[in-house]
Amino acid sequence: MKTPLHSSFVLGYLGAGQLARMSAVQAFRFGIQVAVCSNRKEQEPVGLMTPHSFQCSFEDLDQLVQFARKCDLITLENEFLDSEILRQMVERSGTPLYPSAKSFAKIENKWIEKRSFEEAGIPVTPYALVRSESDLTGFGDKHSWPFLLKSSKGGYDGYGNIVVRNLAEAKKAYQKLGGEKGRDILAEAFVNFTHELAVQVARNETGTVVYPCCETIQEDQICVAVQAPAPVDPVIRKKAQELAVAATETIDGKGLFAFEFFLTNDGRLLLNESAPRPHNSGHYTIEACITSQFENHVRAVLGLPLGSSKMRKPAAVMINLLGTHNRPANVEGATAMMQQKDSHLHIYGKLESRVGRKMGHYTLLGESVDELYPKAKKLAQPIQI
């Protein structure tokens, strides 16, 4: 493989949404060409940035191989893929993939992911694979109702997740999620928690870099804000970082990984979910850290030395900007936000807005999250997209 800083080097992304867009910006900084493969018919954010833009099903091995042969190295923007298809793509094309198919196979769906981490001694939320009515009843009896039913593959931002309060609701949700059609459905217990925390980790052969432990604030199972550092005991933050590094090592990950945790009422940390790519919880790092999660994503997969994750300011708050209308994307009401000192607006370049769709984010830096969070929320309130 040619040096990654060669002018003809092509870094390919499987996925072409905002995560690939923000990562691609960092690749462009290094003079690297970017190719993207989208499995969606709509024009995605990165497709507007590069001539090397392709569309295909992520289940079409022949097309994926053709895409891979146009790239010097491939990385992931999402996890809606199959590890065996990725393995064959690499084998047939000869193009390296990071994270590797072997690493991805250990977390490619929620059931496998929890087993992998549990077997490594990392505490996870109580779970079980359900295949029958008796499984549903048994899980409810053991862990109490209500609990969560999840599609083992493909869920995000609340999609593919259903809260069930009794057996009748559980049977209906199981059918809706595709359990009767052979999809793996996971039951997951509710845990009493005080905070939802997240940590990003960059790792390759040059070393490991761990980002500050932040707090994610959720509404209707969508992350609406992030506070960094998390307003919890520093001992808890350090423990979350240690668990995130251990989880990355468990899968022998090369790249950028994100981990979400529950901090329970009794002070335990439970790993909830992981992602083999940059994550919404790490968007604040673009301005708040010396090296953002996106730059370290590029560095990590290319085998380059990793950059510092140290924060430039004592605190940062990121607000997700969700669609407020079903219409062509048009941002209104951002003037006050943009006039603030050390404020940073990001719009993702999606052509169509939908109510609740992630259309951008806003980051405000300062001295404390207690001061920044209400201020950032107020500044974001007038935004209409």
Q: Are residues 222 and 338 in the same domain?
A: yes
- The CATH number of whichever domain residue 183 belongs to comes to 3.30.1490.20
Q: Where are the beta strands (DSSP E) in the chain?
A: 10-14, 33-38, 52-55, 73-76, 127-130, 147-151, 161-164, 185-189, 193-204, 207-210, 214-219, 222-228, 255-264, 269-275, 315-322, 327-328, 343-347, 352-353, 358-366
DSSP string, 151-177: ESSS-BTTBTEEEE-SHHHHHHHHHHT
Q: Are residues 86 and 15 in the same domain?
A: yes
- Answer for the pair 372, 316: CB distance below 8 angstroms, yes or no: yes
State the total domains in the chain: 3
- The CATH number of whichever domain residue 226 belongs to comes to 3.30.470.20
Q: State which residues form the domain around 70.
A: 10-97
In a domain, 80, yes or no: yes
Single pTM value for the model = 0.94
Q: What share of the chain is helix, strand, coil (3-state, %, to 5)?
A: 30, 30, 35
In a domain, 113, yes or no: no
- The CATH number of whichever domain residue 38 belongs to comes to 3.40.50.20
Domain boundary among 138, 158, 189: 189
Q: Are residues 137 and 68 in the same domain?
A: no
pLDDT tens string, the chain, 385 residues long: the values are 677 899 999 999 999 999 999 999 999 999 999 999 999 888 899 988 999 999 999 999 999 999 999 999 999 998 889 999 999 999 999 999 999 999 999 999 999 999 999 999 999 999 999 998 889 999 999 999 999 999 887 655 445 789 999 999 899 999 999 887 878 899 999 999 999 999 999 999 999 999 999 999 999 888 999 999 999 999 999 999 999 999 999 999 999 999 999 999 999 999 999 999 999 999 999 999 999 999 999 999 999 999 999 999 999 999 999 999 999 999 999 999 999 999 999 999 999 999 999 999 999 999 999 999 999 999 999 999 9
Q: Are residues 169 and 303 in the same domain?
A: no
DSSP string, 321-379: EE--SSEE---BS-HHHHTSTTEEEEE---SEE-TT-EEEEEEEEES-HHHHHHHHHHH
